[in-house]
A and B are shown apart, each in its own frame.
Chain A
Amino acid sequence: MASREKELSKLTQTSDPPGGQLAQVAERLIYPFLHGEPPKPQTPTGFYTDTTVCIGCKACEVACKQWNQLPSDGFEWSGNSYDNTTELSASTWRHVKFIEQFADLPSGNGVSLNTTPGESILNRWLMMSDHCKHCLAAPCNQACPTGAIIHNEFENVYIQADICNGCSCCVAACPFGVITRSDMGGHSHKCTLCYDRQRDGLEPACAKACPTQSIHFGPIDEIRENARKRVEELHRRGVPQAYLYGDAASETYSEMHSFYLLVDRPSVYGLPDEPFNPWLHMMGDYARSIVGGLAAIVALFIALFLLRP
């Protein structure tokens, strides 16, 4: 989107208003204040990513880049398994992570990173296709001062690229490190959950491309139900550590419309173990801010009042 935005911004559009520079300036000033008719709410949708069947093929990354016309990030060997994408960014909205857990420790004592003492070593690969969590109470949305970040009619978190002014509040707010500001254009970008495809009744490009059905897309209630059944099935089949991450709200974080089936601690996958919504502190922080200021005003006022002639 970032490169397309740059290219298209230079072209004259048929929708461009007639007139000279003054008209363009006026258009630029007025345009953001014109609020359109919001679309009718649709069935909420989301992703459920079953990491146990991910094979790390990165077809989702490629499909995402291709459909959304995202530029290449170049190529560098990261040294971190097969993960040379390294992170989500304004131009990378899907990121396949690779975790290698094998027992050839020098001591050979059979204790591995992600197992508690006494637990058997699994000797396994973990792979996970990461993306925006589309949180129900999204900190990025709460932080955004322009109204660029919205929950669209599918209850997905969506950045309106023509409104964002690149203040970076969303970058600071996201506890998952999903959003970054693009160097090209200076605006924030992230996964749209293929909003354009959804509006045309299509599933997102990544889910369409996934050859193992690790990425499930659909009505959120339906995929949540399927995910819970899958967890039960895995428990029956001898994978007791399987659980869902983000499918339900916790005390400190809302439910997510993109949730995961994991078989190890969240931090192993680069996810926060206990995600925390910073907005839970906001009222207290405001109160302390006001107390700090009022204390100074009262002190100043008393000093002036007592010392005045």
Chain B
Amino acid sequence: MHASTTSQHALTQPRLPGEVKEVGYESMTVTKVPDWYGMIAWDALLNGMATGLFMAAAVSELAAPAVFKPVAKVAYPVALVLLLVDLTMLVFDLGDPLRFHHMLRVFKPYSPMSVGTWCLTIFSLPLTAAAGLSVLALLGFDFEWARILAVIAALPFGFGSAAYKGVLLSTNAQPGWKDARWLGGYLTNSALLMGCGELLVLSAVMGNTQATDILRTAFIVLLLLNLIPLGLLFANLQLAHARLYTPAQQWRVGLLLFATGVLIPLSLTLLSGGLVFIFVAIIFLLLASWSIRFVYIKIPHTSPLALRSG
């Protein structure tokens, strides 16, 4: 039995599984893949949906309170529900969920997970207050100043909760992930885009035509703006994708994601401001957003070189 006789670095010239019996260590991936699967893709989506909806509602309410106050009062409780589902997923993704509170025994600014945990924890408090006060306001007990104060207090931590996720998934040694310099930029930008879309749906459902018209335009602007970090992220991942997929597969998936995440939502939103059009457009956007996150999470798992890592 002999060592492989061609000089080959693990991350540059992978062999396909089953092509050659693995001997030696050169063609093996050195790193181990963490047990982060589909639940993390859902977590990344829900994190963006919750923080994005809150931030979009807060910015809208603060910029034009006369128009957006009613829809913002509904948006905050919805954002809280989304956040609670997301936090539940985060807890159950731990190896020992009963130790989730151990995250709060220290604060480590150079650990993105620690920063994220603290941001999410602090964010959840004023968000709960804003959501509770919004519900009270809808029931006729309006504490306007307290609600606005809670919204302003939640804003920086909501932003932090959205911003940490991409850094967590790019600051590591995993093949592909470690090259994704623009993942954080894309995810944070995408959170605002999804949030604006959700707010648009809520305003359409509530029949707030003035808010719907303004948010439609804002949504189109954000949709186009999001193409910049998405393009930069794809450029970062070019090498990783080339390792995993054929050029034809890359084109097919890229076009599918572009059509689902950009062309269809853009066309539908431009076509009409009706509830059905808006709803379908946002569904397509969320579908594409989930797919992008899922494809990203899959990278080290699907690497032909990561087979031994399990």
Q: How far is the CA of A181 from the CA of B95 in the complex (A)?
A: 7
Q: Does B302 contact A (CB under 8 A)?
A: no
Specify which of B24, B68, B214 is in contact with A268 (CB 8 Å cutoff). B24
A86 within 8 A of B: yes
Asked, given contacts A168-B34, A282-B171, whether A293 binds B163 with beta carbons under 8 Å apart, the answer is: yes
Residue contact A303 to B221, C-beta cutoff 8 Å: yes
Indicate if A87 sits at the interface (CB-CB under 8 A): yes
Q: Is A222 an interface residue (CB 8 A)?
A: no
Given contacts A100-B1, A169-B113, contact A270 B103 (CB under 8 A): no
Does B157 have its Cβ within 8 Å of any Cβ on chain A?
no
Q: Known contacts A168-B95, A286-B167; decide if A305 and B63 are in contact (CB<8 Å).
A: yes
Binding site for B on A (CB under 8 A): 28-29, 32-33, 35, 79-81, 86-87, 97, 99-102, 104-105, 112-114, 139, 142-148, 163-169, 171-182, 185-188, 267-273, 276, 278-279, 281-282, 284-286, 288-293, 295-297, 299-301, 303-305, 307-309
Chain B residues engaging chain A, CB cutoff 8 angstroms: 1-7, 9-10, 21-26, 28-36, 55-56, 59-60, 63-64, 66-68, 94-103, 105-106, 108, 110-114, 117, 159, 162-164, 166-168, 170-174, 177-178, 181-189, 191-193, 196, 210, 213-214, 217-218, 221-222, 225-226, 228-229, 308-309
Residue in A105, A167, A176, A309 whose beta carbon sits within 8 Å of that of B30 in the complex: A176
Q: Which residue of B lies closest to A176 (CB)?
A: B30
Closest residue of chain B to A33 (Cβ to Cβ) is: B105
Interchain pairs with CB closer than 8 A, number: 277
- Residues of B with C-beta under 8 A to A148: 102
B94 in complex: contacting residue of A112, A163, A186, CB < 8 Å? A186
A32 in contact with B105 (CB, 8 Å): yes
List chain B residues, Cβ under 8 A from A273: 9
- Which residue of A has the minimal Cβ distance to B164? A289
Contact indicator A175/B173 (Cβ below 8 Å):
yes
Evaluate contact between B31 and A177: CB separation under 8 angstroms.
yes
In the assembled complex, how far is the CB of residue B199 from the closest CB belonging to chain A, in whole angstroms?
10
What CA separation (Å) do A81 and B172 show in the bound complex? 31
**Nearest CB in chain A: distance from B162 CB, A:** 6
* Residue in B closest to A268 when the chains form the complex, CB atoms: B26
Q: Is the CB of A292 within 8 A of B3?
A: no
Bound CA span A79–B243, Å? 25
Q: Which 4 A-B pairs have the closest CB atoms?
A: A166-B95, A186-B95, A289-B184, A292-B185
Give chain B residues whose Cβ lies under 8 Å from the Cβ of A35.
105
Contact of A289 with B95 at beta-carbon distance under 8 Å, contacts A145-B108, A272-B30 already known:
no
Q: Which residues of B contact A267 (CB under 8 A)?
A: 9-10, 25-26
> Cβ of A105 and Cβ of B5 under 8 Å apart?
yes
Q: How far is the CA of A71 from the CA of B205 in the complex (A)?
A: 58
Complex CA–CA separation, A276 to B172 (angstroms)? 10
Q: Which residue of A lies closest to B184 (CB)?
A: A289
Taking A105-B5, A278-B171, A296-B226 as known contacts, 15 extra A-B pairs with beta carbons closer than 8 A to each other, sorted by chain A number, are: A33-B105, A81-B23, A100-B3, A100-B23, A145-B106, A145-B114, A146-B106, A165-B95, A172-B34, A285-B166, A285-B184, A293-B191, A295-B189, A304-B63, A307-B217
* Residue of B10, B162, B171, B228 touching A281 (CB-CB under 8 A): B171
